[in-house]
Amino acid sequence: MDEQHRLKLRRLRVTLVKDLDPKALYDYLVANDIFSDDMIEEIHNSGTRRERASKMLMELEKRGSRALPIFIEALDDSKQSHLADIIREELASDKIDARRRSLPILPIEPQNVPGGAPDFFPVLYPYTDVKQKEGAADRDEHREYPMKASPRGKCLIINNMEFMNLKSRLGSDIDCAKIIDMFTNNFHFDVIVKENLSKKEMLGALKSLAADDHTKADCCVVVIMSHGREVR
């Protein structure tokens, strides 16, 4: 997928995940060779509807240049045109920005400003020299370990948003999307997302992660997003 399309899709991920019905797209995406049957099965088994939607969008980024146009067609075909329109509008903004950049820059005639205008704005804080601190790795090289595997390893994200006796964590899906993007695209982890798990289900997810084969990984990360207790 084109890098610009990939960035657009990431920007819209939170919006798309809220309403996307991934199951309705399976046949169309397989028929057009975007996903294989095995990949669809992996997406389908990734958890709740939101988790399947998030997984589909992450996998879509890894497909070829046809992936996004076919995905938009699949949305139209599955009566999810409102989501297709959101993507089209985002893509159209690129053309508008490009057109604006191509416009000539016209000189601005100086105008009289009452009372005059300052030639510069004063700096609020004086400049200070910043000295590099000694890093932990410099103090103890034996504590370093390699981070060269691709992917680096697995990252399990458990995002609990809905509760019986507590308020819902509104906006948590936005935080979660940013964490997914960070660990997927910046740190190169294989990300697994679970939502609204009970205590028993959380323990099951952790045991399942521990039972996976990590022999080719350099690291494993677990992120648990939930209500906290204020500490003073």
Q: What per-residue confidence (pLDDT) applies to 82?
A: 93
Report yes or no: 157 and 225 within 8 Å, Cβ to Cβ: yes
Q: What per-residue confidence (pLDDT) applies to 116?
A: 47
Specify if 60 maps to a domain.
yes
Specify if 107 maps to a domain.
no
Report yes or no: 153 and 217 within 8 Å, Cβ to Cβ: yes
Q: What are phi and psi of 38, to 5 degrees?
A: -65, -40
Number of folded domains that form the chain: 2
Q: What are phi and psi of 169, to 5 degrees?
A: -85, 80
> Residue 7's closest CA among 157, 183, 232, 185?
185
Specify if 169 maps to a domain.
yes
The fraction of the chain above a pLDDT of 90, given in percent, is: 34
Q: What per-residue confidence (pLDDT) applies to 140?
A: 53
- pTM, two decimals, is 0.47
* Final residue of a structural domain among 69, 95, 121: 95
For the domain that residue 33 is a member of, what is the CATH number? 1.10.533.10
Strand partners, 190: 154
Q: Could you say which residues of the chain have pLDDT below 50?
A: 96-98, 100, 108, 113-114, 116-124, 137, 232
Q: What per-residue confidence (pLDDT) applies to 119?
A: 47
> Residue 29 and residue 80: Cα distance in Å, rounded?
14
Specify if 105 maps to a domain.
no
Residues 89 and 161 in one domain: no
Specify if 210 maps to a domain.
yes
Q: What per-residue confidence (pLDDT) applies to 195?
A: 87
Strand order in the sheet with 153-159: 190-195, 153-159, 219-225
> Residue 122 and residue 229: Cα distance in Å, rounded?
43
Residue with tokens 């910043």: 130
Tens-digit pLDDT profile for residues 15-56: 899 899 999 999 999 999 999 999 999 999 988 999 999 999
Give me the domain span that covers residue 51: 3-95
